[in-house]
Structure 1
């Protein structure tokens, strides 16, 4: 039968030991400042040195001025527009189902892409196809001014059709 050994954490000899309980004293983390005051606040901490000894350090913090206006951002101001948009939706079941189907499709497509990437020849061929198509698209739609204007008109027309602002 195999025997198991457990490791016991022993504090270093230089750690502070409480005389009554024999347990190491742990310095409490500095508390957040309750308010911005002009008086200096001294924070104490321990810094480990390479030799294993600990060295005390002091930091002086002084707050000046007023807190920025953005500091008081309320969580309700962020969630309120989302809640209002959700309340306007009539068929919540369909929206939730489409969202779930979209997430599953994204997850499946990442798996498919990683499987294609593992094939030895396919990534190089697809990269060449992408470079070729990009060159053709630039030559066909962006090099000459009339073609560029036609592309921008087509994009603007599609945007107006999607947003419904004809």
Structure 2
């Protein structure tokens, strides 16, 4: 019984390099493997990849902005125009809800339209004056290239 117990102890003996050495006649020529390392846990791998991605975000955003600068500015301007239009419509709707204010604005608008018709559109000379003023305004806004063509 003693010899059997000694044989079991020698079979599970550790070698000097920390490797499990099974001693028998069959495996003397086989290479010995180091003990298996504990693999990184899946959560640790995910957290390191996430941390690397987060540190790279400013570089990704700057590259994206440089590549798509003009379309991004166009989209922002369109969204800003839509928001401004919605705010203005909400303000006009709020003003229209005030009693007597909406009819007063309508009367003011009708008065201005009738003045404009009588001032500029009835006589031929005043229509020409209006056309000259519109051309002058176009030249001021668009430049002198309109008058050359």
> What TM-score bracket applies, with the shorter chain setting the length?
0.3 to 0.5
Q: Which one has the largest radius of gyration?
A: 2
Higher relative contact order (CA 8 A, sep 6+): 1
Which is richer in helix? 2
User: Structure 2 length as normaliser, TM-score?
Assistant: 0.45
Normalising to structure 1: TM-score of the pair?
Answer: 0.41
